[in-house]
Amino acid sequence: MAGAGQSGIEFEEEPVSGQVKSIDEMEAIYRGAFKRARAELGVESFGMQVIDMPPNYENYPEHDHEHDRQEEVFLVMRGGGEIEIEGERFPLDSDHIARVGPETKRKVWPGPEGIRMVVLGGVPGEAYVPGDITKLGEPDPMAAA
């Protein structure tokens, strides 16, 4: 379908591809806490998961991404808490956003309301390659336990 821009020059309109899904209906693992948002929405250029944690949950694993060289960005959708980066805690709520490099240890500490956050990830300067755990239909590691 052709159209005209403000300059009057004709151009071909590209078909728009999009997805809108309810987070609570997305495939999830780890007892429903880890929503496979990237795969559900068809995102191919970066990692993206939605993670829900209950109030004052202490078992989010401290980890780094030295093995796969991913940096991560943490965005809070609701609730809040803190993110611990190399032993120092910072606020993690709707007024704060955090970026953590691959070699740096991080741990999320939900507050009294719990937390729902979007975690974005990717390897600087490289094409994104999704890990198996983020793919639809992959087994839930908690199911084997």
Half-sphere exposure of 115 (CA within 13 A, CB side): 23
Place of tokens 């970026």: 99
CB 130, CB 39: distance < 8 Å: yes
CA distance 49 to 40: 10
Q: Does the predicted TM-score (pTM) go above 0.75?
A: yes
* DSSP state, residue 101: -
Task: Give the three-state DSSP class for 113.
Answer: strand
Task: Give the three-state DSSP class for 134.
Answer: helix
Tokens of 94: 């709707």
How does pLDDT run along the chain (145 residues), one tens digit per residue? Answer: 444 444 455 545 555 578 899 999 999 999 999 999 999 999 999 999 999 999 999 989 899 899 999 999 999 999 999 999 999 999 999 999 999 999 999 999 999 999 999 999 999 999 989 989 999 999 998 886 5
